[in-house]
Amino acid sequence: MSAKLRKVLMLVPCDVFPPVDGNSMNIYNIIKYVPESSRLFVLLSRVFSQGGEIDLSHRNLDISYCPESHFDRFKYKSFLFNPYYYRAAYELMNKTRVDIIQCQVLFTCLAGYLLKRRFGKPMVLVQENVEYLKYKRFGSSALLTYSLRRLEGFGCRVADKIVAVSEADKRFMREIYGVPDEKIEVVHHCADPELFRYNEEGRRVVRERHRLSPGESVLTFVGKLDTIPNAKAVRYIAEHIYPAVLAEHPRTTFFIIGQNREPLLDCGRERMIFTGFVSTGKDVHPNMADYLSASDIVLIPLDSGSGTRLKILEAAACSRPIVSTEIGAEGLEFTDGQEILLTKDVDEGFIQLVLGLMQDRAWRESLGERARQKLLARYSWEGEVAKFERIYQELDHGGNQAV
């Protein structure tokens, strides 16, 4: 007789078909690699949707969407008060009677908590960021950071298990909220090494599309452009890195890859190309791996933020040399000078590392190849998502403990 499947309800505050950022990519891969001993019921919304087709299916997977509404314009914050999502979550829970509730991203924790109280089931909170710390680093208002700290503290307290994306985030939750070590499991974000790998044909296609000659250098930044740290990074590239690089290497093009560039229209430059959204899909060309293959250096000039660092993992998988700030690579196990180049701040030292790499092709190639080898050795989606099996087993045996 086969073992009984464990049923898990996953509450998701966005669409993930296709993934558009680190959060949605993480959720997509949890769905893709969920342990075979579990049956997964996923409730998505149309927030951040690109209108893609559902491209994941297996016998233990059920996917549904919350009805669209005017609440969606508030994006993640809407999940604190969107009655359509609460109703859809309740109806799905009532129908499926799952064993475990899994909240992806802090803002679904209220809906998850109400289900936990109503049905008496344990709850997992998957923290894509330490939200309070992220917004504090942004320099956000005291009211917003206070509210986030209260909400995040509540989520950490009522969850029976918390999943962090890095040891650094685990440490922050322990220090800020007093969460005990044994309550937090680290499940790192990864990059698919088959999807993300250097592709000479992809490089050619992208460069031909943008009419670049073989000898032209390409420096690339990737990120959603309406977030505060990414917008600041693009401004730094436009105002500081761009003029310094073109003064020494006038045949250089900058790719700025990401959706929602409207707040950055004043950053337009002659050799700076805003590509818009680029798909990660393996059957779409040119895709993100093609654009990374077309790049000579990937830039991460971030002075704030937290969370996935997915842009570094994908660039590493494509054997690209990466120049980042320490905070931009926070939580990743890449060694400075061996698999990545790091500076403490976004400053002249950052620019000099970029210029030094541009002058030394052998250095670029060796740095990129070592980055891929670290990715292969350390960051596997299948291996990381398998950790959920241990989390689910612990909750099955330990029951509902958090208040």
Going residue by residue through the chain (403 aa), what tens digit of pLDDT does each one get? 346 789 999 999 999 998 887 788 889 999 999 888 899 999 999 998 988 899 999 889 999 999 999 999 999 999 999 999 999 999 999 999 999 999 999 999 999 999 999 999 999 999 988 888 888 877 789 999 999 999 999 999 999 999 998 888 899 999 999 999 999 999 988 988 988 999 999 999 999 999 998 889 999 999 888 888 899 999 999 999 999 999 999 999 999 999 888 889 889 899 999 999 898 877 788 999 999 999 999 999 998 765 557 899 999 999 999 999 999 998 888 999 999 999 999 999 999 999 999 999 999 999 999 999 999 998 888 889 999 999 999 998 765 456 5
d(Cα 188, Cα 332) in Å, to the nearest integer? 9
CATH of the domain at 39: 3.40.50.2000
Identify whether residues 359 and 236 lie together within a single domain: yes
Identify whether residues 18 and 157 lie together within a single domain: yes
State the pLDDT at residue 1.
37
First-residue to last-residue Cα distance in the chain:
36
State the pLDDT at residue 64.
97
| Number of domains forming the structure of the chain | 2
pTM as predicted: 0.81
Residues spanned by the domain of 345: 200-378
Identify whether residues 392 and 315 lie together within a single domain: no
Planar angle of CA 112, 139, 326, nearest 5 degrees: 90
State the pLDDT at residue 402.
67
Handedness of CA 340, 341, 344, 346 (dihedral sign): negative
Instruction: Copy the structure tokens of residue 74.
Output: 């508030």
Question: What is the residue type of 312?
Answer: I
Instruction: Copy the structure tokens of residue 360.
Output: 């030394």
State the pLDDT at residue 306.
58
Identify whether residues 181 and 225 lie together within a single domain: no
User: Per residue, what are the HEC states of 253-282?
Assistant: EEEEECCCCHHHHHHCCCCEEEEECCCCCC
Identify whether residues 186 and 207 lie together within a single domain: no
d(Cα 40, Cα 327) in Å, to the nearest integer? 34
d(Cα 63, Cα 289) in Å, to the nearest integer? 27
State the pLDDT at residue 364.
97
State the pLDDT at residue 389.
93
d(Cα 32, Cα 382) in Å, to the nearest integer? 9
Answer yes or no: is 195 within a domain: no
Identify whether residues 180 and 213 lie together within a single domain: no
Q: How far is CA 400 from the centre of its chain?
A: 29
Closest-CA residue to 240 (of 126, 125, 319, 355): 355
Closest-CA residue to 288 (of 33, 55, 18, 13): 18
Closest-CA residue to 313 (of 284, 343, 340, 283): 340
* Residues 82, 52 contacting (CB under 8 angstroms): no
Identify whether residues 313 and 253 lie together within a single domain: yes
d(Cα 176, Cα 149) in Å, to the nearest integer? 9
Instruction: Give 24's Cβ-side CA count (13 Å radius).
Output: 22
Question: What is the residue type of 281?
Answer: G
Instruction: Give 217's Cβ-side CA count (13 Å radius).
Output: 22
- Cα-Cα-Cα-Cα dihedral of 30, 284, 332, 324, to 10°? -150
Question: What is the residue type of 184?
Answer: I
Decide: residue 142, CB within 10 A, 0-12 exposed, 13-18 middle, 19+ buried: exposed
Identify whether residues 154 and 208 lie together within a single domain: no
Identify whether residues 76 and 49 lie together within a single domain: yes
Identify whether residues 394 and 362 lie together within a single domain: no
d(Cα 71, Cα 82) in Å, to the nearest integer? 6
DSSP-derived pairing of the beta strands 217-222 and 252-257: parallel
* Residues 133, 42 contacting (CB under 8 angstroms): no
Closest-CA residue to 169 (of 184, 183, 157): 184
Identify whether residues 344 and 209 lie together within a single domain: yes
Answer yes or no: is 266 within a domain: yes
Kindly list the strands in the beta sheet with 217-222, ordered across the sheet, starting from the edge strand earlier in the chain.
272-276, 252-257, 217-222, 297-300, 322-325, 341-343
Answer yes or no: is 1 within a domain: no
